Amino acid sequence: MYACPNCGEDTFSFWAKWAASDLTPRSCSRCGEKATSKVWPVLLVAGLSLAVAFFAVLASIRWKKPDFMLAFPVFALLSVPVAVHFAQLVRATKQRTRVARLCYWLTAAGVAAWFGWRVFAHVQAA
């Protein structure tokens, strides 16, 4: 169990901490305050995952051993729970939620724009 950042009671399970984010903060069952996990451990794991995946592909090509491709799933299976365990819970604020929603919608719009550009780049003009 993990302590609430407001009241200090151990009310958050591992899975509640896993699901807590700035977009969907979790409420403490004792005091009712919303809590979220810090973002930097997740960003660190994401960056390291890209590096491990890049190394796995290059190593499997260079040494012609497909065993190196197992490095990425093993790293992901081990690093994500460790990052969740060590990420601190903090109070969820309206500003954090607003910034997270803005980033979410900007990312979604960027992906949609890129997808539309890739699809319509192949369409011949009439």
* Buried/exposed code over 59-94 (b: 16+ C-beta within 10 A; e: otherwise): ebeeeeeeebeebbeebeeebbeebbeebebbebee
Tell me if residue 3 falls in helix, strand or coil.
strand
Per-residue pLDDT at 105: 96
Residue 19 or 125, more confident: 19
Give the helix/strand (H/E) hosting 106.
Answer: helix 94-120
- Domain tally, the chain: 2
Q: CB–CB of 48/99 below 8 Å?
A: no
| Residue position matching structure tokens 């491990």 | 52
Do 14 and 32 belong together in one domain? yes
Do 110 and 64 belong together in one domain? no
Tens of pLDDT, residue by residue over 93-114, are 999 999 999 999 999 999 999 9
Q: What is the chain's mean pLDDT, rounded?
A: 89
Do 66 and 112 belong together in one domain? no
Quick check: 68 pLDDT over 90?
no
Do 17 and 43 belong together in one domain? yes
Per-residue pLDDT at 126: 55
Q: CB–CB of 41/90 below 8 Å?
A: no
By residue range, what is the domain housing residue 39? 2-92
Do 68 and 99 belong together in one domain? no
Do 102 and 81 belong together in one domain? no
Do 72 and 107 belong together in one domain? no
Tens of pLDDT, residue by residue over 35-65, are 998 888 888 888 898 999 999 989 888 888 8
Percentage of residues in the chain having pLDDT higher than 90: 42
